[in-house]
Structure 1
Amino acid sequence: MSRPLIAHIDLDALRHNYRLAAGLAPDSLSVAVLKADAYGHGAVSCAKALAGLAPMFAVAAIEEAMALREAGIREPIVLLEGIFSADELALVESLELGMAIHSDWQLEAVLAWRPARPVMTWLKVDSGMHRLGFSPDRAAAVWKALKAAPEVVGDLHLMSHFATADSRDDRYFAQQREIIMALAEQLDAPLCVANSPSILAHVEAHGAINRPGVMLYGSDPLEQANDASQQLSPVMTLRSEIIAVRELGAGEPVGYGGRFVTSAPTRIGVVACGYGDGYDRHAVDGTPVLVDGQRCRLAGKVSMDMMTVDLTDMPQADIGSEVVLWGRSQAGTVLSVDEVATYCDTISYTLLTGVLPRVPRRYNGGHID
């Protein structure tokens, strides 16, 4: 009998979420973002599940693209951060990749390059995120330089990233959008700007290409859910079991530092999951957990391999009871990873990508990668 903790990956839910993203933007090409090992879900397995449905994939770096190609993924793949050194251009060509260009040194390397065939290129513009990208006042000159090299650059799009598309306050989003739209109109350029929150809440930002990311995995990136985001289905269920039960009297501390102290006779369940598996140690007392499909609460600090929950109101729960840290229970109850993230003072992206390799992934009942 192996340790009961697994990350169950529902590939049907993944496909549902992709279809939702594509359906919200029927005039856009929806590129499935698989960076960071598909947000912790397994990039190869997710790519295989979306093959024939998503026309293109996006990753952060060339190592991620290589892993997909080695697994037999043949769909177009674009590097969202482009190359990190000029010698990667040989791999871009041999692996038949597309790439973003966000810096002068990348531009110089690309324009000096002579690939066998033109390469799909996304020119990244800094419309206000202030991470990567050419300033708007330089972007026109860079665009023209790339357009003047048709032997190098094939399909060319303007790309940018919104800093506050998830926010209820859309003033800065509107400012960024105005900048990139004006530039696109000036250059007669197709756009690739809509990320998950933009797809869900800002139809005006949908471009020739959209980039659904975290929404594919069932996480709602919006500060305030809307009708579209409520249709998302969780892809990862982090599932374990109760491995021990303790009956404690009033006034007893539980776990490291004794942060949680029983206020009355209390039933404590020990769960096989901890920060050594990627569950966030910052989770506070009261963080929700599902036991046999019913909500209960974390009681005490998360340990490396275990955590403790309050089973006082669940007399039927015992050793072997199902525990869902986030996702869908066997009873059908859902605990959103987004809700758990709020109790950890973080975001769902951190929790999903933080599930460590020692946690087995199970894909619709079996490995497919």
Structure 2
Amino acid sequence: MNNSKQKKYDEVDFRNRTVRILREHGQVWLCLYDLCKIIKRPVMMETKEAMDLCPSSTKIIFRADDRPLWAIAPRDVRKLVHLVKKENSQMKKLCNELEAWAGRLAENIEAVLQEAPVVFNYGDHPVTFKAANGKTMVNATNMAKCFGGNPAEWLHKASTTRFRYSLVNEGKSASLDEQVITNRGTSGGTWIQEELAIEYARQLSDEFSIWCNERISELMTRGSVSLHNTSTAHHPRNEQTDTPAENFPVPKTFEEALLLAASQQKQLEESRHKVEFYNRFIEDRDWFKTTTIADELQVTPSMLNRFLEDEGIIRKESGQWVVPGFHSALQCEVPYYWTNAKGKSYKMGGARRWTQDGREFIIELWNRKHLK
């Protein structure tokens, strides 16, 4: 099925995770790697277990000049998840939702593609809202930029952690994982559940909190958000200086346009290796070893461990580094599997690894302490 023709693929959210979807000759194909990331089993791609489980698995070029990716038909999502869904109740719920979502794609893909996020302005700052699993999710990265802040700092406060646990205990959210999800890439960001978003907005500004609450109410009752009712009390527009969101300079002559194009092309070429590194070692991973993060910071693992110990993030117990208290949410359990000759997989233990949020927290903390 591989060819060099230009293809256009769609990106669809499932639980705030992006899944690449290609429609070709009436057939819908889902990127298998994206699905494995959703069920937290990218290792199934490395062992080729995912491909063996799905009869429709094949390599497809999603976009011209890109490398081929493994893809499956929506009907095979059930076969992909039938082993991992037996692990625990939370995984069973996730897999059942993923099966139902794949079924909706097969029946009416256009309806699913129309569930796009809504972007609008608070003053001069874009903020994105979207519906997911019966809840409204808000881009906390956008929210923070309205006031020059960073959501990671607020999310890792002890008071915020207590509030998040109370949402779970009171049945406002099913789990901590559903409350905060981070997407990677140029259009990514940290998304937070509506109750958490309102609390964060209140910390930023009382007026902003009221405004966010109104937008959430509109989204949940009407299925859309008004774009014209934006606050300008503290963020007045200057119509003479307004520029597109990308802030691209506008050339006034043909010569300026040529110079601009050449400059942008040079920047792309210079940053290409950085993009390739990010895609391979950062964006396409769900967990990280301490050694990987140390390499990224250009320090030794022992230096990084001593730093994290001094900051109260880790401590040694029985000769092993552990992450105590609410900082333990920065790590995840990475299971190890063994597959026998008949293709049946068994869980053979696991290890604690840093999550994407954990990696970002460590790098931000290190830079804050060392780049003054």
TM-score by length of 1: 0.22
TM-score by length of 2: 0.22
Structure with more contact order per residue of length (Cα contacts < 8 Å, sep ≥ 6): 1
**Where is the helix percentage greater, Structure 1 or Structure 2?**
2
